[in-house]
């Protein structure tokens, strides 16, 4: 009897432990691992929309800044137009007096001035004064003509800038509408998430965390080409003097220290080299990986190297290609390595575990 009771208690404890563990694991397991395929796609779509919203907000800021610059140029040109108008008004008055004088008196006035000379010296002095007067008004006429042409040019410039501002305003309206539409799509996706997931709060938290990470990732990509590439040097350089070829090896650790460690905003980012290419990642406050961007390498002309992002991951979720397009649109992702010894040129590039290798030739 006692054995049966003990067995019953033991079975009850095992059942409770099993149930508790299942519940705890379901709660703690990463959302991307416990959801079905439709749920995974929903997560990817929401993060994609977040990326698009981020890109559109940046675009709106750029449009506003460009409009501000154009309005500043426009104000300066209008000020210049006002200055030209004042000078044109003054010259018109001078020319009006000259026209009236010429109409009333004509060439006879100058002849009478010359005839009234007492001697040759006085004649030459009077003649010089007449020539000076004629040259003065000739210069006024020439200046007036130039001012008029310049005024026309400035007016044309103002019209051009006004058209640019109107085009920017139209583009801003379209971007704002696209932003509103994207936000509406995201809200609809969140509504769908509440239908699919029993507890969709993790999805909202993931979206919020992605929005917090985006500025850092965006900063890294936009400043990639301006990193201090000239400060790096090979960790291992093997030169074949017979064939005038070389192999330069760079480790991901040294590249990270030289390019990222000194930048306050990138101090938690790091490079990882592998046969797949270059991966740029960033750690969070607790040491967890916030995001990673895997890139291919492409050799351009003039010894420049370009990276091409092919995969973006965030908390175990591989984001769709549209995210890469939004993040890298109009971004220069090429760089020039430091000057190579013996005037060598890069012939090819490869990556191995923790190594970036440049093959060089004279």
**How much is the average pLDDT of 322-340?**
82
Q: What is the mean pLDDT of residues 211-222?
A: 82
Could you tell me if 248 and 168 lie in one domain? no
Which residues lie closer than 8 Å to 213 by C-beta, 6 or more apart? Answer: 282, 290, 291, 314
DSSP 8-state symbol, 332: -
Q: What is the pLDDT of residues 35-83, one digit of tens each?
A: 456 667 777 777 788 888 888 888 888 888 888 888 888 888 888 878 8
**Same domain? 120 vs 227:** no
Residue 26 above 70 pLDDT? no
Q: Residue 342, Cα to own-chain centre: how many angstroms?
A: 36
Residue-range definition of the domain harbouring residue 290: 219-361
274, part of any domain? yes
> Domain check: are 352 and 226 in the same one?
yes
* Number of domain units in the chain: 2
Identify the CATH number of the domain in which residue 119 sits.
1.10.287
Same domain? For 270 and 149 the reply is no
Residue showing tokens 């005839």: 115
Q: Please report which confidence band the pLDDT of residue 333 belongs to, taking 50, 70 and 90 as the band edges.
A: confident
Percent of the chain scoring above 90 in pLDDT: 9
The reply to whether 156 and 256 lie within a common domain is: no
Same domain (yes/no): 232, 357: yes
CA distances 275 to 234, 249, 272, 349, Å, are 19, 14, 10, 11
Are 131 and 239 within one domain?
no
Q: Are residues 223 and 352 in the same domain?
A: yes
Determine phi and psi for 107, rounding to 5 degrees: -70, -20
Taking Cα atoms as reference points, which of 360, 81, 103 lies closest to residue 239? 360
**Rounded Cα gap, residues 333 and 212, in angstroms:** 23
Average pLDDT over residues 94-102: 71
pTM of the model: 0.58
Distance of alpha carbon 299 from alpha carbon 307, whole angstroms: 9
Closest by alpha carbon to 291, among 189, 229, 219? 219
- Does the pLDDT value for residue 23 go beyond 50? no
Identify the domain boundary among 123, 152, 181: 181
Has residue 188 been placed in a domain?
A: no
Residues 154 and 275 in one domain: no
User: CB of 309 within 8 A of CB of 303?
Assistant: no
Decide if 199 is inside a domain.
no
Q: Quick one: pLDDT at residue 272?
A: 93
pLDDT at residue number 90: 80
The vertex-182 CA angle with 177 and 186, nearest 5°, equals: 150
CB-CB contact of 246 with 360 (8 Å): yes
In a domain, 227, yes or no: yes
């Amino acid at each position: 009897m006692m054995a049966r009771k003990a067995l019953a208690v033991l079975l009850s404890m095992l059942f409770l432990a099993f149930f508790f563990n299942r519940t705890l694991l379901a709660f703690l397991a990463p959302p991307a691992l416990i959801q079905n395929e439709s749920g995974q796609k929903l997560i990817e779509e929401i993060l994609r929309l977040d990326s698009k919203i981020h890109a559109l907000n940046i675009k709106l800021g750029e449009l506003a800044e460009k409009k501000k610059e154009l309005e500043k140029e426009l104000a300066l040109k209008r000020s210049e137009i006002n200055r030209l108008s004042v000078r044109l008004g003054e010259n018109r008055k001078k020319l009006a007096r000259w026209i009236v004088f010429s109409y009333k008196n004509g060439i006879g006035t100058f002849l009478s001035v010359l005839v009234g000379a007492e001697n040759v010296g006085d004649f030459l002095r009077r003649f010089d004064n007449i020539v000076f007067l004629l040259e003065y008004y000739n210069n006024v006429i020439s200046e007036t003509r130039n001012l008029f042409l310049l005024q026309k040019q400035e007016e044309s410039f103002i019209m051009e800038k006004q058209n640019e501002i109107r085009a920017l305003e139209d583009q801003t309206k379209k971007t704002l509408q696209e932003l509103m539409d994207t936000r509406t799509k995201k809200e609809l996706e969140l509504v769908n998430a509440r239908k699919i997931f029993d507890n969709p709060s993790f999805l909202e938290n993931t979206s919020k965390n992605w929005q917090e990470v985006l500025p850092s990732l965006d900063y890294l990509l936009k400043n990639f080409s301006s990193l201090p590439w000239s400060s790096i040097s090979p960790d291992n350089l093997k030169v074949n003097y017979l064939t005038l070829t070389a192999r330069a090896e760079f480790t991901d650790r040294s590249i990270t220290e030289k390019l990222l460690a000194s930048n306050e905003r990138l101090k938690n980012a790091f490079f990882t080299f592998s046969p797949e290419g270059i991966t740029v990642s960033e750690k969070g406050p607790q040491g967890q990986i916030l995001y990673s961007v895997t890139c291919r390498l492409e050799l351009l002309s003039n010894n420049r190297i370009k990276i091409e992002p092919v995969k973006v991951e965030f908390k175990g979720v591989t984001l769709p290609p549209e995210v890469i397009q939004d993040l890298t649109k109009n971004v220069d992702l090429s760089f020039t390595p430091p000057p190579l010894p013996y005037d060598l040129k890069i012939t090819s590039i490869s990556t191995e575990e923790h190594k970036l290798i440049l093959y060089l030739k004279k």
